[in-house]
Every structure is written in C-alpha cells, then in structure tokens.
Structure 1
Amino acid sequence: MMTGSGGKTMGGPPGGWQGWLNTGLLFVVLEVAVLSIERARWITPRPSLTLALVLSMLAAWFLARSKLPAVAAHATALVIGIMVVVCQAAVLLSGFQPLFLALRAWWLGTGTAIPGGETISFAIFLSLVTWAIGHTGTWFLLRRRNAWVGVSSGAVIILANLSNLPERYYFFFGGYFLAAMLLVALNRLARGNAAGRGAGYPLRGLLYFGASLAVLAVFAFSISWATPEVRVPRLQTAVATRILWKQDIEDSPVNLFAAVPAKQPLSTSSTRRELHFGKDWHQGEQINYIVSSPRPSYWRVHVYDDYTPDGWANGPTDRYTLAEETAWAGALTPAGHETITYEVETNMKTDVLLTAGSFVAADTPTLVQAGAGDIMAVTTPRVLHPDERYRVTSAVTAATPEDLAGAGESYPPEIMAAYLRLPPDFPESVRRLSRSLAGGAPTPYDKVTAIDNYLSRIPYSHEIQAPPPGTDGVAYFLFTQKSGFCLYYASAMAVMLRAVDVPARLAVGYLPGEAGEEEGQYILRDKHYHAWPQAYFPGYGWVDLEATPSTGDSEVAIETPWVGGQITGGDWQEWQDWYRWQVLAEAGLSGGSAAAGANENRTPGNPVWPFADELGRALLITIGGIILITLAASPLLARRSAFYHWLWDFTREDAAAMIYNRLCRLGAMAGLGPRAEQTPLEYAAELSATFPRQARSLDTIARTYADSQFGRRVAVGLFEEAELLKSRCDVFGNLLPRLKWFKKLFFRLKLSD
C-alpha cells in the first residue's frame, strides 16, 4: 500500500462519487462492446450478455471492497461466473439435461436434434468472455485504479466483433472510443488526486481534459468507420503462411464458431467442403468480384470429384503452399492453349482465388488443394477483405469442336479411376437413360452433345423442392421434379457422362459476368454464381461444358454444351448483347437501376429474456444521459471550483496582503468596494457599519495588512496568522451570500491577485 502526501493511500477501492463515476464509465465502455455483439444477433437463441456483465461487475465490486486475498477473490468470481453461465445456458435449452446432451454432442463432434444445441457452445463462450472482462476490468479499476485492463479487453472484443460485421455497425466503435477515452482521463485525474495532488479535480487538469476531449471526440468518430477494417495485407499474408494449422482448427468438430452464420458476404474454403442438393440458389444482385481480363471465361471457385446421392464432395486431397509468382509444378498445358493473366478485385471477405482453365501462378502466396490428379481449389492463406486485388496466370484451351471430336478416349488411369466412379446404389434408371441417349455415340464429344440436347428440354426454374432424404438428387431431378437450376443440370450431365464412360466432374464458380464500364472488365454478381460440368478430353485436359439451358430465369446466354473456347469468339458478342438487353429490361420493369444491391435477409428471432435483452440499452441511455449532463455542467462547476480555490488559497509569506486584496474584490463584487482615497482602516470601518458583528474581524484584517505593508514587520507571526485566518472565515462567510451566482462563475482574476 503506497502513501502519498497528506496520508492518502494509493491502493484499495476508491470511495465517494469519483469511484462510482469511474465504475459507471467502465460499465458504459464494456457495455458498448457487449451491445455490439448482442445487436449483431449472431445466434438464436442467445444469452443476455448485458445481464452477465452487470452481475460480473457487481460481484467484482463486492469482492474488491472485501478483505479477501486476490487469489481467493478471483476463485470466488470464477465459481460464481460458471454458475451464472450454466444457468443462462440451461434457460436457453429449457433445462440442464438438454444442456448436458448438447455439450456432449458438441464435444464428440456428433449432431444434435435439440433446438439451439448446435450453437450452445458459442453461447457459453460469449457469456464466459463477458463475465471475464467485466470482473477483471472492475477489479483492476477498484483495487489498482487501472482502467487500461477494462479498456483494452473491451477494445479486443469490439474490434474482433466489428471486423466480421457490415459497415453499418461501425458506429459502435466511435461510441466505444469516446467512452474509453473519458474513462481513462477521469481515472488519471482520480489517481493524481489520490496521490495527494489536491482535493477534487484540479482546474488546470479539468481545462486540459475538456480541450483534449473535444479534439479526440472528433477524431474518434472520424476514424470509427475505418478502424475495424484497418489491415496490413503483406504482414497478414506473412503470418498466415506460417500458421497453416489454423485450417485444422476450422475443420475440428469442437470449433466454437462452426455453427455461427456470417453477417456479411463471406466465401471461404470451410464453406465449400460439400455441396448439397437443395431448393435455393444464388440470386442476389450484390457484386462479389470485379475481374479485368483480356478475355472472358468461366471463373472457377471449386471442383468436386465425388458424387453422392445428396450432393457432391471431395475425396482425399493434399495441400501445397506456393510462394508468390511461383508456378504450379503440376500445371496442365492443353494443346493449343492460351496463357492469360487477369486481375481480380474482391468485394467481399473471401480466401478464394478465381481460376480459369489450368492454374499456373499468382502474385500472392497460395494454398493449392490437389487431389484425384488435378487441382480442386486454389485459396489464399488468409481471408482477403473487400477492395483487395490479386493477379492470376492461367492456361486456357483454344480447342475447336472438331479438335475435341477427334481427341479420342485414351484416358490416363488415374483419371478413369477417380472420375468414372459412381455410388454403389446409383439409380439404374439414370444409367439406362444415359446409355439410351449416348451409348451409341461414336465419340465422347458426341455423347456430350446427345446428353445436352436431352437436358435442354427440361424447364429451368428456381421454384423447386429439395429432394426428399434418401433420394438420389439427379434421379429426382430427371424423373420426379423435372425442373431445376444449374446445380441439377450440371450434376445430371456429369453423372450421365460417367455412366457412359466419359470422365466428368462438377465445377462451381461464376459465369463470365456482365461487362463493366472499362474494356476487359467483368462484374461478377451473386446471381452469376454457377455450377457446370467438366469433361476430360485427352490432350486438352478438363474442358468446361454448359448443361444449363439459356431460357427462363437462367443467367446462361449461350446455346452450346461447350464453353472452353467458344466464348472467346462470336458467341461472346451474343453474351454481351444479351446482358445489355437484360439490364434494360430489368430497368424498365423496376423503374430504376438493375444493379441495386440486395438487402441482407435477417430474422432477428426472439430473445429468451426480453427485459434483460433491453436492459443494456436502458442502462446505457440512462448513464449516457447522466454523463452528458455532467459534461455540460462541468465548465460551470470548474469555474465555481476555481472561484473558491482563488478565494481561500494563500501563502504564508504574503498572507495579509492576499486576504485584504480578496476582501476588497469581494466587496467590489457585492457593491461594497473601497474608494480610492480610503485607507485600509477606513474601509474596514465602513464595512463594519454593514456587518457590525464582524467589526472586530474586519479590524484584524485591516490592521494586520497595514502593519505588514507600512510597518516594520513584514512577516506575520503564528498567533497573528491564526487570528487572521479566523477573521477571514468570519468576514468572507458573511460577504459570500451577498454575491450573485453568476458573479462567482464569471469573475476575472487580476495579475495582482
């Protein structure tokens, strides 16, 4: 325990209004961070983090004021925190038994049928973190008078949260920065006061604090929109390439964040492990990428080689790290290929590298996921943010239909083993249909054409039902649903080609997109996300095919099963013309721009504790209002404090002169000031007529001043000093009630004072 001048202790919990004010400010700081998480509504149902924060700070307050050792206090807080968190989790799942079953399923990596069970581990994590920052922040503030622990932990929480949210949430950071700055500044003044530097907040400190607060407030809100997205790409890439084990954490069944949905456009390798048949497909208008390329292409994101009745997956794969501008050793160079280099600008968070044809190299470090004799996907070691750019070099085929028709059937053994594989329970009806359509075709290319002609007669539609559980998706599409979107067409062509001994697989990515404002620029929107089959042709490698018809609501605009080289010629002009017509048609129907971004679809859900969910907002508004009123009144309080500081302050060397001069100033402010020709004794006699009970005190002040100024004695003795101070209290105490309040606030000091 340190002791400063005046015997004031530096340790221990602060008392009085300063302690309450700083604790209230700490709550505001942490509540802004917690409220940003609650308002994001990451999961449903969700615990009340505000309630956890309030309880943790109350527990820390009582423990900090107790005489328990630090270790015992922290252990007690931990036990209380676990009890609170467990109770919150049990309320979310309507009982302790469902909670136990859900946690057991999460730990074992198995699924759970309990509503909310898949996100309960994340809910517990949020509650524990909230309890931890509330307890540690309050403890250090009260026991050590250290506000930085709470401010720093809150900053980590709010920046981590906002970095995964859209920009409309960034105002939370401005409020957090302002509240944190206010807390640190006032806590610093309180520490100075506790060290014996004066009673209350000093005038100079308050003035400096007010000026700094005004400047930093503007600065805080100026950077609040940018700070959550501040990044250093080269440093992030360098770090990411050295911690590739984070991919294993993402794949772990105990990953706390696996079931938490993204709050902004996000496309990462962890979201593309499997592709299931469903009833929905991408139809949004938001821009995901902008590509600048010397030629259009189908922009590939991922390739699937393993077909299952309910969708697609990948067999065993290996991951390789490539440095920037390093060529992939296994790159295929198809006959008559063309090498192109294109630039991609991201408009969402993603680790995807869009590839066209056969990937060669990129200007950024990459992770190559290879399996079944070829590349399945190319990603970056870290998640790229919007507006980042990268360049990719690829080899694309320039083969003609005649070239492919003469390619033959000399497939490599590894290609046949991986890409002719069908499930053991593959429907015989699909196999018979495939053979009846293409079994007698003379070449693989003719088989592609025959199957495409059949699929083109199936109506395209987004209004479909997902295949029932246990039903083969392609069989359901061909014989029951008899309509669908690109995933169903592409899957049908791929498996039907396999059924007639043509190696095929499924690719997902983007259509060439719509023309941008600049030449060679292609805008890829969410609605351009597409699935298409690829077939292997000896000598030319994997060739993109288009199985989806260009009718109805389809974004496809070419009438051919072959994509590989055809969109570089005349068909690309047809594609451009089609998009121009489409944009004009949409603009005419909507009366506005056809490029309007899609709004985020979000179902808020109902909180488990409606009152507790709104508790944070009510407390924040109340405490915020009190703080605003205090800040508005602080200049007046500072002036009032300065007046009394001036009035009662003195130094022993010139005590008599200071007290008499202040008497004259007070008298002048009350309309009883001395005249120029009056001596000190005459002025005291005149005041005695107004204050007869203070006549002796007035005479003491005047005589002591006259003796010190005009007599032989300059210094005042101890006895005389005591009488002088007693007289000052008597006289000033009766003069002050005659002053108007505004004269106390707007008095002016003179150099002589």
Structure 2
Amino acid sequence: MSFPVATVPNETPSRSWFARLEIGSLVIPFLLTVTITWSVTRSLEVANWADGLTMLTGIGLTALVTGMIFARVSWMPAWLAHPLASLPGLVFVIRQISPVIGAQAAAEFGSTKAQRLVTWGDYAAEVVLRALIWIRTLQAGGRGEDIVLFVVTLALIVWGVGYAAGWLTFRHQRAWIAVGLNASIMLINYTYAWPKPTGLFFLFFIAALLLIVYQHIVANQRLWRATRVEFPDFLPARMLLASFVTFILLAIVTAFLPNRPDNEHLARLWRTIRAPITALREGWQDAFSTINAPPGTTGAFLTRNARVGGPRQLGTALVMTVRSREYSYWRATAFDRYTGRMWQNAVGERARAALGVTTAEDARTPLAPGVVLEQPELRGRTLVTTTFELAQTRSDGLVMVGGALASTSLPVLMQHGYLDIDGELLPNFTETATVVAAAPLEASQTYTVATYLSTVDEQSLRESGTGYPEWVRMSYLQLPETVTPRVRELAATIVRNAGAVTPYDKALAIQEYLRTLPYNDQRPMPPEDRDWVDWFLFDAPGGYCDDFASAMVVLLRAGGVPARWVQGYAGGELDPDRRVYLVHENIAHSWPEVYFPGYGWQRFEPTPAPYASVPVRPAFPPADAAERPETTGGLGGALSDPEAMLREMIERNTGPAISDADALQREIEAQRMQERLRLAALIGGSLAFLTALIGAGALWLHWDVRGLSPAATAYARLTRLSGWAGVHAPPDATPYEYGALIGERIPRQKRTIDRIVSAFVAERYHPGHTANNQLPKEDWQALRRELVALLVGRIGAALRSPFRNTPPRRRQRAQ
C-alpha cells in the first residue's frame, strides 16, 4: 500500500533587478569612493599646477561612475569592459580640456589659427602632434615645455585612477588597491604643493580607511553566513563608527607631532621612504617643466615659469649657511618675460634657437671648476668669494649667485643669451638666467662661488645713461597687452611727482611708492581674467614679494627702464659667533634688478618686509683712486663699444679653458657614480619598505585569527587563502562541499584539506567535541605553497586576459 507524498517544487525564488543589483549595499562604498576621488582631484585643483585644472573633479567622478557601472554588469568580462570604457573616456577627457588647448594655441599661434580647432578630431590631432614633439625632446635629453600635455596627462591619469577605483571596488572588492592608486597621487601632490591641502588629505585618509574596513567586514560577513557563524546585528555600522572615532583621534594626535624627526636615524629612515616619491616628482618636473611653481616653494625653484599664486606660508627650516665678507641677496633664477599671469624665463629658448640645438638645456655653457669668467660690464664691482653649506638637498640643482658670476668650485652649466655680431655668435654672460650644478647638490655639501658684487655709487648710476644694447631693449622692456592704461599712467604719475629724470631716480621713486603699500602674505589669488600687477596695484594693494617685485618691474618697463624679475633668497640672519648668514625657508624672496649700461644688473627692494633690506649705495664716487674699493680691470671701462668688450672677453676667457674636457669628464663620471649610489639607495629603500609591508601583512594575518582554536584557525587560513586564489565558497555550500571544491583545484593536498575541514566541522557542530591537535607544520606549508602558486597563476591570467580573444569562462570549461 502506498501513500501519496506531497512535494514542493525546488525552484529558486525570482529576484527583481533592483535586488540583483544590491543597490542598498552599494550606497556606503559609493559615497566613500566619491569622497576619496573628490578629495584627490580637488587637491590637484588647489595646487594650481596649471590653468584649467578645475575640470579634474568632473573627470574623476565621471570615471568613477563609469567604472562602477561596468563593474556591476557581471556578464561582461574585463577584456571587453576596459576598451569599451576607455574610448568614451578618451573622448570625454579631450572634450573637457579643449578650452585649455584652444587658449594655449591662441597664445602660441594667434587667435586666428586657434579658431581652426573646432571638432573633437581637431583637438585630438593637436594633442598627438604636441606629444610627438614632446617625446623627441625628452629623447634628446631635454625637458618638456608644453603645458597642454601636462594637463592632458594629468586628466588621463585622473580618469584611469577613477575608473580603476570603480572597477576594483565594485567588481573585485579590492578597495585597498583603489585606495593605493589614489594615495600615490595624493602623496606626490602633497609633498610638493604649497600651501599643503591638509584638510583634503585627512578627508581622504579617513574615507579610505573606512572603505577598507567596510569591505573587510562585509567580506567576513559573507564567509560567516556561508559557514553559519553568528555575528551581531548592524556590525558594519558599528565598525564604521568605531573606526571613524579612532581615525579622528589619530588625526588629532598626529597634529601635535613634530614636523621633522629629531633623531638622525629616524630622519634617515624618512628620507629613504620618501626617496621614491621624490624621484618620481623630479622626473615629472623634467617631463613637464612649465608647471606652475607652488606659492612659497623653498626646496626648489622652477626655472621656466613662476606663476602668481594665492597665500603662502613658509617654514622656518634652515636651507643653507653662507660665509661671505659682503652681505648680498642670493640669486637663483632670473625671468625676463611677463605674460600678465606669470613670469617666464625665455633666455634658454632664445639660446636654443640661436645655436640650433634641440632643447634649451643643450644650449647651456659648461664652466669647469676654478675657471675664472670675466663679465663684460663690471664697473663699480669688487670680487668676493662666498661659501655655501647646504642644509637641504637642492632638487633643482641651482647654484646661488650673489652678483655677476666669476668662478665656482663646482662644474656648472650656465644658461645665458647669445649675440650675433658681424655674423659671429658670441655668448652674452651679462644675460645669465640660471647657474645649475652638473652634479646633484646634496644636504651638507659645501661649495664656493666667486662673484663680482656691486659697490657702485648713486652718481655713477645716474650718469650711466640710456644707451641700452639691442638685446636689452628687445627682452627687458617687454610688456603684454594685459597691462592696462592705468598702470602706465600710474608709472608716469609716480615719476612725475618725484621729479625723476634718470633711470636710477625713476627706480628709486617707484621703489619708495611701492614700499608704502601694505605687506600681506595671505592675500587671495587674483581672478583668472585679470592682469596680476593691475589687480595688485588697484584692487588689492597688499601682497608679498612676488607682487611688489612684479609691480616694480612692470612700472619700470612702462617708463622705458629695462628690468627683470629675480627669485632666490634674501641675505639671511647673521650668526656673530660663527660669522655666517643663516638662510631659512621663510626668506625665500623675489626682487627686481634694473639694467645700467656698464654696470650691469643692480638690485632694488620694493617689498616692505622685515627680512628684506634696501640696498645702500654711496652718494658719490671716492675722492681719489686710492679710496676706491677693489674693482675688476680691463673690460669695464670701454662703455662706448660693448661689442668690443664682448670680443675681448671671449678671446680672454673662452675656448678650452671654459669647458676643460678632462675636468668635465671626471665630474660627469663622479655624477654617474652618485646617480648609481642614489639608485642603489632607492632600490634598497624600496625593498626595505616592501619587506616591512610584507611583515606588517603577516602580523595582521596572525592577529586576525587570534583567540581561535587550532581547528578554527586552520580552517580560517584555508578559506582565506583559497578565496584569494579564486576558489570562492558558494553561498549555500557546506564546509565539506567547499573543501571538496578546493581539493578539485589542488588534488595533491586533498587529504590535508579533508583533515582541516573534518576537525572544524567536528568542533563546530558536535557539542562537547574539541580538537586540540594542531595541523603538522610541514602539511600546512605544503598546502600554503599550492594555494600561493594558484594565486600567482590567477594574477598572471588576469594580466594576460586583455590580450586573449577567448572569454575566461569558456576557457575554464574547456579545461
């Protein structure tokens, strides 16, 4: 006799599209990744590396959403998703930066030619052409000068990192990789930007750690549900709250820590850790030398462009000590071209064009150690030897000069102009913009520089006249169209009210006028559509040295007096015990230099700052020759024929002496040896950091299973390594089923896996049973070796998958 049995169809309940997308569980990680991306891109915008970077946030957030959408389309493999996302990403990036491309093209070629850029293809072709020129320049050993390519590169990096963050976070739940990519950009930007975007950095830090914690808890919840391990309700919310409070306390504690380590070993460790970031930053600066110098930069000066910035806040760390019998300012870079928004050093570009070489760096003139270089305009100067001892490494390699360069104890490269006289190309050392060391300048290094310091009197400067050479009139009276008529009128009014006639008296009048304006190093950034000097003089008459020096140069040029804008350091604070000048970061300075025929460049000081000093000059020359200070002889007296001075200087001081091949070759070999040592230190530091990271990871893995029994510990390690290797537990799988799945992938370890699973099940589901016997160490090591090999194979397959045409799922079934 049989009885009917009621049965229920084994059907999987249908789930709506909303439930399948799990939108509810995506809200928190989405908000955290948005915060991470926004803080990184916003920090780049605040750093103001170039005009037009305000579109970075939109690019980064769009890329993040794109990566998230493609990640949630589970049927789409990576090899298809990434190209599909890259094409619209490239189009979107080019379209977003098209205003920057158009503005730069108009500045370089005129508005008529720039108007030809209409379609997306036009802008893309412009970028490709610029990239080809840029690559050839870098291959020739030069430095990139195209700001458009910097903006394009930065925008593409932001898109790539944003897309990767969306893909890694929402497809593979690898938030720590996405955080690492964003952290690399944030840290590199933070080490160089000024003022530091500290608020954005801490916002990024908190959001990043909360995202990692959240995904870790969610991943463990899935594992606990699969193995039927009970856990408290609202565990993610509780962990996020506890982590947030911990991070806030950590941020508060770090705010009171010293900025610089006092212990030498800690300082050395910090330099080792920071070395990769510094090297990457310096390589970036070589590739894009026209990026804007951060306001208040002290560790390095950018030698191509110096752009107006916002408020500045300089540190007090010691930069160098200077031993000299004469007080002076220490010049780093001289700029000749004013654009209305920035100063540019065009001397190297003119030298490159004159010599017909590939880059401005190729046009530099080498000067061997100890070789004396006489300048052509040296009346009223005295030869002084100055010793510099560096307290910080100079990543820019600039050699400080207190006057007109005579000689150095280092092999250097001089960037200067050239003159074409009767078909003969002669170097013009009066127009020297920068002096760069041929070898790296490291902290604690000492070098000497002999310079011709000015001792000229006021009467001599008044009588020097206005017989300016052609190269002075062409480059140092230049003013852009952005200079308004009221600026020119103000210059004329100042001169007229002072009754000034000679260039020297005009310079004094403008200097005194500017020193009546207030000093304010927290002044805001000028509007994008305003001329820097016009805004400073009429709308915000308060600024710091950059503003005062720029205003004086522009006012002088408006009145027909040639001048240039100079960056470097003010003289420093005298240490009477050591008889040296202490030069700190907070006296990084800019000032104007005015050209006087026969006397060269003379310093003036319009900035009313306590660290700045007005040059003091005697009113009249000495009564007789015996009372005159020591002056250089020969070339300084022939004022009537500057070309003759140059010819004589070339005959006496150039040729084999200037570029002693043997001496320079020895210095180049020494430089290469230092570079090799630096590379070895960099590799060693990176290996040490990687070792420390691996050790920290191993410690965390042991800490994560603390308090568990031997059976539970072995099972937790087995499932964790298996998950990393790609063998994931199905949601409804029992421990035996999951163990069998792992055994199929590594059959040689099936016995060890069965032992681990059986011990865990017996302890977990058999009341009163305990399994205290630990798994033999050699068995666990063999099992771990197999799982790690499986993990490495998975990583290799992921790297190769974009280049394969067969979808991964079909390939797995075929196996």
Q: What's the TM-score, normalizing by structure 2? A: 0.43
Report which of the two structures shows the higher radius of gyration computed on alpha carbons: 1
